[in-house]
């Protein structure tokens, strides 16, 4: 059974942008689009019952939002199979449930009315942190939303080093998602890895730290040389990481090659990814979720990217 792309709509302009993006994603994959609308008043059913006239009006509005969304999606992609779903639940729970059987969940970066600034305050962050499928938050510049940049960017962290047996290990889920998007779009892929020297005693990711530090202690004049050597070592390590992360997937038999650019950056990962978002149609990041004091949380880098990226962001769960 084909899993659909799920998109949440509420009648807002940002939801319309998310709908267009999700319809394009589903059309490229040749899979259905499922449009979900949640009626916020229905969440309080049984606690504060609405008037007899109020509830039908709210339901009618939801049905109208879905009908208009389905018509818009079909107009943009006539061959697309479109399904609609009016849900009586809170937005996070509804979309998480829909995402259990979905290729991806797509949401806008903010909502409508009383939900106007909730998306990355609770709704979008909650979905991105807890969904078991990729989550795309649609935001950014008009040229990115229209796909005019012709580039997909993916952040590659040390933890996303490919694993498994064999000489050509499989790519991480985030890298695989990014490669597929680039291939379907017929565009290039930019792989980004950021690194930082921890301090003056950081001589790069080598196995000989202890010996080098002892040499530096005996000869303080070697500090400048060791610092340069450390940066060069970090650069080589970053380049090797990107080669390993991308090498096994670019030449997959039976698929067209994807032009890949490797970019290693000295500095914070947050800045490197936000810079990449300014020249991409989609930024892909991996997420290993961790249990925090307030439930599941994504890391600070992904949190910053979701708030400030200049193009749509796909958060892909890592295995």
Over residues 275-290, the mean pLDDT reads 91
In DSSP terms, 33 is beta-bridged to: 5, 82
pTM score of the predicted model = 0.82
Whether 273 contacts 301, CB under 8 Å: yes
CB atoms within 10 A of CB 102: 23
For 55-111, the pLDDT digits (tens) are 577 788 889 999 999 999 999 899 999 999 999 888 888 999 999 999 999 998 775
For 240-261, the pLDDT digits (tens) are 889 888 875 655 567 778 899 9
Residues 299 and 167 reside in one and the same domain: yes
Residues 302 and 318 reside in one and the same domain: yes
Residues 227 and 179 reside in one and the same domain: yes
Residues 123 and 251 reside in one and the same domain: no
CA-based torsion, 62, 65, 68, 73: positive or negative: negative
Residues 197 and 296 reside in one and the same domain: yes
Residues 112 and 170 reside in one and the same domain: no
Residues 156 and 124 reside in one and the same domain: no
Residue 88, SS3?
A: coil
Q: What domain count does the chain have? A: 2
Over residues 186-207, the mean pLDDT reads 72
Residues 99 and 150 reside in one and the same domain: no
For 142-156, the pLDDT digits (tens) are 999 988 999 999 999
pLDDT grade for 47, boundaries at 50, 70 and 90: very low
d(CA 178, CA 191) in angstroms, rounded, equals 9
Mean pLDDT (the chain, rounded): 80
Residues 133 and 170 reside in one and the same domain: no
Over residues 294-298, the mean pLDDT reads 60
CATH of the domain at 317: 3.40.50.620
Look up the domain containing 96 and give its range: 1-138
d(CA 69, CA 13) in angstroms, rounded, equals 11
For 99-109, the pLDDT digits (tens) are 999 999 999 87
Residues 217 and 205 reside in one and the same domain: yes
Residue 305 has pLDDT above 50, yes or no: yes
Over residues 194-202, the mean pLDDT reads 67
Of 92, 111, 138, the residue at which a domain comes to its end is 138
pLDDT of residue 269: 95
pLDDT of residue 198: 62
pLDDT grade for 228, boundaries at 50, 70 and 90: low
Of 138, 165, 197, the residue at which a domain comes to its end is 138
Residues 95 and 196 reside in one and the same domain: no
pLDDT of residue 89: 84
Rg (CA), the chain: 23
d(CA 9, CA 15) in angstroms, rounded, equals 5
Of 83, 116, 138, the residue at which a domain comes to its end is 138
In DSSP terms, 295 is beta-bridged to: 292
Residues 126 and 195 reside in one and the same domain: no
> Which residues are within 8 A (CB) of 147 and not within 5 positions of it... i.e. 6 or more apart?
24, 185, 187, 281
Residue 236, SS3?
A: helix
d(CA 289, CA 218) in angstroms, rounded, equals 44
């Amino acid at each position: 059974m084909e899993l659909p792309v799920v998109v949440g709509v509420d009648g807002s302009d940002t939801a319309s942008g998310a709908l267009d993006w999700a319809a394009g994603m589903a059309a490229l994959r040749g899979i259905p689009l499922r449009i979900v609308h949640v009626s916020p008043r229905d969440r309080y059913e049984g606690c504060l019952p609405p008037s007899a006239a109020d509830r039908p009006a709210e339901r009618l509005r939801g049905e109208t939002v879905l009908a208009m969304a389905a018509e818009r999606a079909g107009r943009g992609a006539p061959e697309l199979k479109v399904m609609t779903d009016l849900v009586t639940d809170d937005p996070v729970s509804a979309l998480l449930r829909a995402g259990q059987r979905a290729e991806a969940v797509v949401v806008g970066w903010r909502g409508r009315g009383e939900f106007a600034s909730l998306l990355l305050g609770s709704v979008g962050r909650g979905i991105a942190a807890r969904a078991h499928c990729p989550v795309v938050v649609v935001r950014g510049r008009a040229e990115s939303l229209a796909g005019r940049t012709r580039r997909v960017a993916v952040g590659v962290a040390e933890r996303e080093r490919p694993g498994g047996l064999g000489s050509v290990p499989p790519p991480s889920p985030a890298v695989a998602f990014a490669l597929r998007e680039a291939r379907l779009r017929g565009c290039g892929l930019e792989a980004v890895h950021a690194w930082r020297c921890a301090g003056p005693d950081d001589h790069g990711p080598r196995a000989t730290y202890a010996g080098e530090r002892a040499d530096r202690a005996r000869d303080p004049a070697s500090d400048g040389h060791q610092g340069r050597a450390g940066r060069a070592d970090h650069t080589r390590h970053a380049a090797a990481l990107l080669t390993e992360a991308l090498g096994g997937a670019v030449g997959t038999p039976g698929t067209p090659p994807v032009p890949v650019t490797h970019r290693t950056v000295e500095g914070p990962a947050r800045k490197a990814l936000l810079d990449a978002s300014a020249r991409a149609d989609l930024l892909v990041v991996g997420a290993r979720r961790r249990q925090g004091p307030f439930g599941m949380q994504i890391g600070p880098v992904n949190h910053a990217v979701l708030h400030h990226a200049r193009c749509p962001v796909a958060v892909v769960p890592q295995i």
